[in-house]
Amino acid sequence: MKCEGIISMMPSGIKGMLLHLDNEQYDTLQEIRLRIGKPLILVLKGEEYGLGREGICSVQNSYLVNPEDMDAIIKYMSGFSLYALEDELRQGYITIEGGHRVGIAGKAVVEKQGIKTIKHISALNIRIAHEVINCSKGIMPYILKRDKVYHTLIVSPPKCGKTTLLRDIIRNLSNGYSGFGPYTVGVVDERSEIAGCYQGIPQNDVGMRTDVLDGCPKVEGMRMLLRAMSPDVIAVDEIGKKEDILALQEVLSAGVAVISTVHGKDIEDCRKKPILNELIENAFFERIIVLSNRLGPCTIEEILDARNCLNRLR
């Protein structure tokens, strides 16, 4: 059961209720939202449900989350070690065993014009990471050439499966796909979402030739991998800062293929962001894949040839 890790992090009351869910419900579970004094909400296939003693129920009849539940969940999720998650907490989320991301809301403590920590945590959004094996099948032929892997950018709004797709691309490249490869893949997993490492060991299948730098900042990570692990491909999630682009340029000049993701609705949306626009204008990436949630996560809207006037390949 993929959600075993999450269930074990719940206090006994909520744990008992979650155990009433069947396998199909677990497979489609996308989010668990907890707010103190408010009904616990489960998001399954984009629909909201409540959670009662017998399992799924209406939101109105759902269990009301109390402060003790919240306190226990935070302790369990952090392993009674909030000190180990200081940096993540500052960014408003923590990543837990299995690569699930937990968004946090509460009172921000500000110091020197930056967020020091979050106290009085009142709401959590647990986003369940799903591993969808072979979801990149339709994309692989477009990003592979006989002797190389194209520099690829995956553009997608939140919750459309860009990390899931990236993970599967990594797995296929690493294991070899239909006569192409295999390639040595270096992954900089800044938020521990791609490989979902636990004590340094990937919990998700990222292939047999994949080296993961877990929890490492992207810029340093890319440079470290380049120097130390001689990868054929480097994969990173959610680029967007200027420093990321500089590091990517270094990777590119070393002849290593880059596969990355970025937040955005479509190519026009990306063009509105100066840094991304520069990347597109300079044809930094060779393939741009646009995702949506139209037919469920990982729906491929279009695949563009970025070095050929954004010609639509699919």
Partner 1 sequence: MKLLGITIVFISCSMCGFIIDWNENKRLKELEKFIYAFELLKAEIDYRLTPLQEAALYVSHLTTDGIKKVFAAFASALESREYSDLNLMWEQALCTHHGEFHLRPDDVTMLSEFSNACGYLDKNMQKKNIDMLIYKLKEELTASREKYQKHSKLNKYLGVLAGACVSIFLI
Name the residues that contact partner 1, by CB under 8 A: 8-9, 11, 68, 71-72, 75-76, 78-84, 86, 117, 199
Q: Which residue number, 97 or 286, has a Cβ lying nearer to partner 1?
A: 97
Q: Which residue number, 82 or 310, has a Cβ lying nearer to partner 1?
A: 82
Q: Shortest approach of partner 1 to residue 72 CB, angstroms?
A: 4
Radius of gyration from C-alpha coordinates of the chain: 20
Q: Shortest approach of partner 1 to residue 78 CB, angstroms?
A: 7
Which helix or strand (DSSP H or E) is residue 290 part of? strand 287-292
Distance (Å, rounded) from C-alpha 106 to C-alpha 118? 6
Which tokens is 233 given? 């491909």
From 269, 211, 201, 273, select the one nearest 242 (Cα to Cα): 273
Q: Which residue number, 138 or 215, has a Cβ lying nearer to partner 1?
A: 215
Q: Shortest approach of partner 1 to residue 139 CB, angstroms?
A: 37
Show Cβ contacts of residue 22 under 8 Å, excluding neighbours closer than 6 positions. 55
Q: Which residue number, 72 or 252, has a Cβ lying nearer to partner 1?
A: 72
Q: Which residue number, 70 or 139, has a Cβ lying nearer to partner 1?
A: 70
- The C-alpha angle with vertex 2 and arms to 54 and 129, in degrees rounded to 5, equals 105
Q: Shortest approach of partner 1 to residue 82 CB, angstroms?
A: 7
**Partners of 144 in beta bridges:** 149
Q: Shortest approach of partner 1 to residue 16 CB, angstroms?
A: 14
